[in-house]
Chains A and B, each alone.
Chain A
Amino acid sequence: MTFCLMVLMAAMTFFGSSVIQSERSANPFVAVRDGIVAFFEWIGELGIFCGRLARVALVPPHEGRELLRQFEAVGPKSFMLVALAGAATGAVLSLQTRDSLTRIGAGSLLPSVIVFSLIKETGPLITGLIISGRVGAGIGAELGSMKVTEQIDAMEASAVNPYKFLVWTRVLACVLMLPLLTLAADLFGILGGWATNALMDPISLRLFIENGFRTVTFNDFFPPTFKTVIFGFIIGLISSFQGMRTRGGTEGVGRSATSSVVLCSLFIILADVLMVRIIQVVFP
């Protein structure tokens, strides 16, 4: 609860700092009040945005070509980055925990520690944060640029719903691609952990995986991977929302890209805390 409040306060601080320079008050109390007001305005507008998205989600046309384009933009184009981040995380986990485990005589548990750490928390969270940066910024900037150059107005004037064509396709691509990218991060993390470990203490990959997965159950693997669907929804929704409400020319596009990354990251961390607690209760 305390953590959730801290994240919300961080979000409010961000909104306070993102009030346009010319509109910002010199009085700190007024500035804080403006930040809180901006935050609640943002929540209200996001609610309206979600309502519009829900209305178009299941009605045709389903914009298959644009959806495939977004799948490619989110999935294959992020694969290398996620795989590298996963491998690096696995390597660091191996380096950091090896020493501690050896000191307490539990060196043989290293594969299990790496696998548990990656599939339960590190893999999903790293994937969520990396995709926030790569895809969230991209969506915020792309839609922001379309907004300020009237491309979104042109789409609406052509009797095409931009919420369906632009927003829904991006949200769906993020939702469906995040679990797959998480699997890639987990896999490369385990490989990175094994490779680092094998350099110091030669062990076959097969034995490393057997030891690592010996006590892993369905509840250890499926819920944490599936929670990234929520991360994907957060990334697609918030970055599209930030992009669609862009104003103020190229400076506004920059602001939208930055705010997309910051807000997606903050809300992913908040959602992660909540989801971990829910998973512990539902899948004991």
Chain B
Amino acid sequence: MKNSDGNNESRNNEPAVEIQNLCKSFGRQKVLNGIGLAVARSETVVVLGRSGTGKSVLLKLLIGLQKPDSGSVRIQGQEITGLKFKELNQIRIKIGFLFQQAALYDSLNIEENVAFPLVRHSNLQSAERKDRVRALLETVGMEQHRKKLPSQISGGMQKRVGLARALALEPELMLFDEPTAGLDPITAGEINQLILGLQEKRKITSIVVTHDIRGARTVSHRLVLLNEGSIAAQGTFAELKNNQNPFVAQFLSGDS
């Protein structure tokens, strides 16, 4: 018992996400070249970088949608790179993923989309499940649209529903792939407020991939800037602002 408690305690002290020497190539193109990163529990890390630097690939490697060429990915202390589908699914249940285009299932309505993970991975009865779905949709302000199909709502609304679906199983880690891409500044601000709300109320660990510098400043505890498959710089927004690296300065100021 003591030993087990000891193991639990040591696991709780481990970073929520720990990446070591991660490499990934597509054909001859090397996308990630020996990335190393640790994300503490309840921390929000924003990953920035130019298009094609492997930010989305990094998120997909973290949830096992792609396999790395080499390197290690540990989620809450557990190595996931060699896991089989069933074992990997046990980890995936603890992770929420908001996709760039929300990736809602076209054939299901909003309510069914949010209920999708609950039907498969929770023991909730039908009535309890409906209550839970309504509560989730209320959290993201989409309760009144629950009978609509994804094609009948706007991109910003789809992102909100995608967020509700990602939160359905009460994940301990959230991965956001460009949550504000393609949205107007007001809707983008609302999505950023929802992400902030998750930090404050649920203490969820989050990794956010974005090009939205203003949003990054709002939601991040720490920023990581990728360039040519490696980490060019990392730190708080203020630290990066004072960084002398010309690429960092150029990226944050948006100068061409």
Task: Please report A residues at the B interface, Cβ cutoff 8 Å.
Answer: 61, 69, 145-146, 149-151, 153-161
Q: How far is the CA of A244 from the CA of B227 in the complex (A)?
A: 32
Closest to B101 in A: A149
Main secondary structure of the interface of A (DSSP, over half): helix
Does B99 lie at the interface of the complex (its beta carbon under 8 Å from any beta carbon of A)? yes
**A153 lies within 8 A of B103 (CB):** yes
Does B104 lie at the interface of the complex (its beta carbon under 8 Å from any beta carbon of A)? yes
- Given that A61-B120, A146-B106, A151-B106 are contacting pairs, would A157 and B63 also be in contact in the complex, using a CB cutoff of 8 Å? yes
Q: How far is the CA of A153 from the CA of B121 in the complex (A)?
A: 17
Contact with B120, one of A151, A153, A154, A158 (Cβ below 8 angstroms): A158
Q: Could you show 30 A-B contacts with beta carbons less than 8 Å apart?
A: A61-B120, A69-B107, A145-B106, A146-B105, A149-B106, A150-B100, A150-B101, A150-B103, A151-B104, A151-B105, A153-B65, A153-B99, A153-B103, A154-B97, A154-B99, A154-B104, A155-B105, A156-B92, A157-B65, A157-B95, A157-B97, A158-B92, A158-B117, A158-B121, A158-B165, A159-B92, A159-B93, A159-B121, A160-B116, A160-B120
Task: Please report B residues at the A interface, Cβ cutoff 8 Å.
Answer: 60, 63, 65, 85, 89-90, 92-93, 95, 97, 99-101, 103-107, 116-117, 120-121, 165
The count of A-to-B residue pairs whose CB atoms sit within 8 angstroms is 50
Q: Which 4 A-B pairs have the closest CB atoms?
A: A159-B89, A154-B103, A150-B103, A159-B92
Q: How far is the CA of A155 from the CA of B105 in the complex (A)?
A: 9
CB contacts (< 8 Å) of A145 on chain B: these are 106
Closest to A69 in B: B107
CB distance from A71 to the nearest CB of B (A): 15
Q: How far is the CA of A160 from the CA of B108 in the complex (A)?
A: 15
Q: How far is the CA of A151 from the CA of B89 in the complex (A)?
A: 17
CB distance from B62 to the nearest CB of A (A): 10
CB contacts (< 8 Å) of B165 on chain A: these are 158
